[in-house]
Amino acid sequence: MKPNSTHCIKNGLILLSTTLFINSAYASNGLVPWVEKIREGIPPWMENWLGLLGFVLLGFISVKIFRNYLTDFLLQFIQRHSIVLTELNKQKILFPLSCVVFFGIIIAGIGVLSFPEKTASILLRGSYVAFTLGVVTFFFHIVDVVSLYMEKWALKTENKFDDILVPLIRKTTRFLVVVIGIVLIGNSLTIDMKSIIAGLGIGGIAFALAAKDTLSNIFGSLTVLVDRPFHIGDWVVIGGETEGNVEDVGLRSTRIRTFYDSIVTVPNGQLTNVVIDNFGQRKYRRYRTNVSVEYSTPPEKVEAFCEGIRQLIIKHKWTRKDYFHVYLNELGASSLDILVYVFWLVPDWSTELQERHRLLLDILRLGKEMDIEFAFPTQTLHMFNEEKKELNIDSSLKEDIPPHLYGLSKATNITAKPLTTSGPRSGNINEKVEKEEISL
């Protein structure tokens, strides 16, 4: 099979550029005669460019070898520290390092070759810029890899302060890497960075006024770090308006994931001037509801039902045992309303819903066991009757007895004492109740 002409030309250029590269790199005067013959047929201005092409080929070969070794090292590091990296993240690390190796060889080659001063200066500046970009990009993505390791370490600690600190360190470090990279690129392009810095110093007052909000947000983030009004994942209400779970705390703002699954961005500068209600720091979760029973329920059965609910709360695994209330609280329009006031010792809202569900079902089962009829809103309609009926009035009221004396006489045998209640709560079935006597 006849070799392809393009392939032959490519091999010839590689051989020619490699020969000139060896001659330029080592400045050898004892080259073999065939090399001298090749050089005699090449214009002087082309020798340096072909030599540079040789360095380019050397750079590609070095990058290939370097990537293989670096890939193996990176895989070992990932497995050792159990860091999960996608293929895209691996390439984000390998590509800038390959650029560093490649342009490092190019910079060395330009220094060896005999380019004219102006040409060498242009090539060096471009190579230095590319080299610096590679270094900055590499460290920029290395910060992300280290942050992944730090986040994994932070999850093992009980202190949630680490969850806020790690993202702030990552963002601050990336910002510093970019700033340093800009300064290095400016130096590579022979830009007088001192004059720029001096100009910033002169215009510092104007800059401070323009960046007042930005500086306020940065100080606000420092306040969040020092004062710790919330942690990542806490349920907060900020300023009485923004409500949700804290998702991220940055240098400029804090992101809140609302219960509508939207993201609200709150500038950190505002966090120092508003009230933050942190529901995530609650030790207990309060629950209050009314259990309505029919008016036909006897008072003794109402009290027995209340005591049964108290015992359910005591036996429940996740309730606070030292503080709860179960009392007949309201005489409603169509029902007797029993207040159930209880606190949950649970880690999250999902568990609270599960245990609330369980307690309410137990109350329904208790009501069924005691033949309690639960009430619902009703209305009684009285039909108009033209016939005049005599009112059913107690005979004692017909004897001109003052109403207040009549009420006192009826209340004489009634004592306002619950069956098992002596304090602000009832949870102990063995507690003794002192008998109270009311003398009228």
The region of weakest confidence among 93-97, 261-265, 390-394 is 390-394
Q: What is the pTM of this model?
A: 0.49
Averaged over 341-350, what is the pLDDT? Answer: 90
pLDDT for 43-88, tens place per residue?
666 777 777 788 888 888 888 877 777 777 766 766 666 666 666 6
Candidates 283, 278, 256, 280; CA nearest to 268 is 256
More reliable by pLDDT, 139 or 356: 356
The region of weakest confidence among 26-40, 70-84, 210-224, 381-395 is 26-40
Cα–Cα distance list, 318 to 98, 341, 354, 429 (Å): 58, 14, 10, 20
Domains of the chain are 5-191 (no CATH), 209-280 (2.30.30.60), 285-380+392-411 (3.30.70.100)
pLDDT of residue 391: 52
